[in-house]
Amino acid sequence: MPEPSENAVQDNRRQYVNFAFYKVDAAWRRLPAEDRKSSKCQFIDVVKTFEQDIIVIPYSLVGMRGDCDFMLWRISYDLLKFQEMTAQLLATGLGQYLTTPYSYLSMTKRSLYVDKHVHEGQEGLRQRLTPGQFRYLFVYPFVKNKAWYRLTQHARQGMMNEHIEIGHKYPTVRLNTTYSFGLDDQEFVVAFESDRPDHFLDLVMELRHSEATGYTLRDTPIFTCVHRELPEVLDLLGG
């Protein structure tokens, strides 16, 4: 039997995903302007040095939440690169004033429930994410209760069919579900991308009436993130 090609092996690889939320100490804003400018340049330079190994999509949360200021959505085939990059970021002038109130780790995985309702770009079929194409990202950790896993596959599939049908009514909202079982406290990280926050709100309200919602244990905190280029994200910190 012939060995699989290198491209075929790479196509089957799954990605590691990290949503890292940062809060800047107010003391950083009181630094001299040149020091703040230099510290932001250092931070940007570190991100650039990892661009061959890590996809980084920056988002601002300034004005959206009080407990974090920006988020880096990071995607890589090498888990250790997250650690290496974080260590270098924290060593920058800006990094010395940052805390990480939230950080969620997950992986891509084919969904058990999307064999039906398949359409082009179906999120549950993808093992490779292509994020950052929309202005807004809505992200939160997600945990099902124990009763969900005691149901039969047939029973769960029926409820998820309803869930998927509701989602298809909102084509302006793109779902990226990644899996955290054994990697982090949550079971999933759910990330919705859209240019229409109003459509996302309507989708979530309608999903609250679905049968599967009764098996949700936790789906907070919820973060509304605004996609911007990294220099602009850092400028919005007030320095």
Alpha carbon separation from 35 to 20, 29, 62, 107, 158 (Å, rounded): 24, 10, 21, 37, 57
For residue 4, what pLDDT is reported?
A: 41
Mean pLDDT over the full length of the chain: 91
Q: Which region among 25-34, 90-99, 107-116, 180-189 has the lowest average model confidence (pLDDT)?
A: 107-116
Which of the two residues, 128 and 105, has the higher pLDDT score? 105
Tell me, rounded to whole angstroms, the distance of Cα 149 from its chain centroid. Answer: 24
Q: Is the pTM of this model over 0.95?
A: no
Domain 127-225 annotated CATH 3.30.70.1030:
yes
Residue 133 pLDDT: 86
Tell me whether domains 6-106+226-235 and 127-225 share a fold.
Answer: yes
Could you please state the CATH topology (level 3) that the domain comprising 6-106+226-235 is classified under: Alpha-Beta Plaits (3.30.70)
Q: Could you tell me the pLDDT band of residue 123, with boundaries at 50, 70 and 90?
A: very low
Q: How confident is the model at residue 120, as a pLDDT?
A: 47
Give me the pLDDT at residue 11, please. 60
pLDDT (average), residues 180-191: 97
Predicted pLDDT at 115:
61
- Judged on CB neighbours under 10 Å (0-12, 13-18, 19+), 81 is middle
- pLDDT tier for residue 151 given thresholds of 50, 70 and 90: very high
CA distance linking residue 105 with residue 107, whole number of Å: 7
Confidence of residue 132 (pLDDT cuts 50, 70, 90): confident
In terms of Cα–Cα distance, which of 198, 206, 201, 123 is closest to 166? 206
Residue type, 239: G
Q: Phi/psi of residue 78, each to 5°?
A: -125, 110
Residue 5 has pLDDT above 90, yes or no: no
Residue ranges per domain, the chain? 6-106+226-235, 127-225
Instruction: Answer yes or no: are the C-beta atoms of 74 and 54 closer than 8 Å.
Output: yes
Please state, in angstroms and rounded to a whole number, the distance separating the CA atoms of residues 54 and 58. Answer: 12
